[in-house]
Amino acid sequence: MCWLHQDELEQMIRELFIHQLRGRGVPRIEGIAGAPFSIYHGEVSGDSDDPVECCWPVPDDQADEIAARFPDLTLRTEPAHQEAFVRQEGPGRWRSGTQVEIAIETLFAWASEQQRQPFGGVRSVLIPNPADQGAGPDCEFAVSLR
């Protein structure tokens, strides 16, 4: 977990996910369950640097070996849970900070309407999109639910 301002976020995630993990052949789980994600444990903006946790799901049977290769990273197991999510309308990035804020507010409003309690921070999930080569992954925002 690291403390980041908004302008540092993209470069740090690119360095960790693409150069360190994918570039060094770290396997991950297939499908949406294996999508890398970041958990925002507070507000990350130009004025605020709260903690961000970057996560790369790996196969259970390879987790200890992967952890040994990357001693500066933390291996943890997350218990099964449900999530509510909002996916962007088209491929690539969300178009504006306002659009992101609305998406996150919508998640919390929906959870409240359903009498569900979000926990653990807002997640930004990077979903590989093989149909849109070169545009980068699609993104959804999610919250874990109790």
27's CB contacts (< 8 A; 6+ apart) are: 58, 59, 62, 66
pTM of the model: 0.82
Task: Give the CA radius of gyration of the chain.
Answer: 15
Task: List per-residue pLDDT tens for the chain, 146 residues long.
Answer: 676 656 676 777 777 777 778 888 888 898 888 999 999 887 765 666 678 888 999 999 999 999 999 898 899 988 889 999 998 766 556 666 778 888 899 999 999 999 999 998 999 998 877 776 666 678 889 999 99
User: What's the confidence (pLDDT) of residue 107?
Assistant: 93
132's CB contacts (< 8 A; 6+ apart) are: 91, 92, 138
**Closest to 38 (Cα-Cα) out of 141, 123, 142:** 123
* Beta strand segments in the chain, E: 2-4, 37-40, 50-55, 82-87, 118-127, 138-145
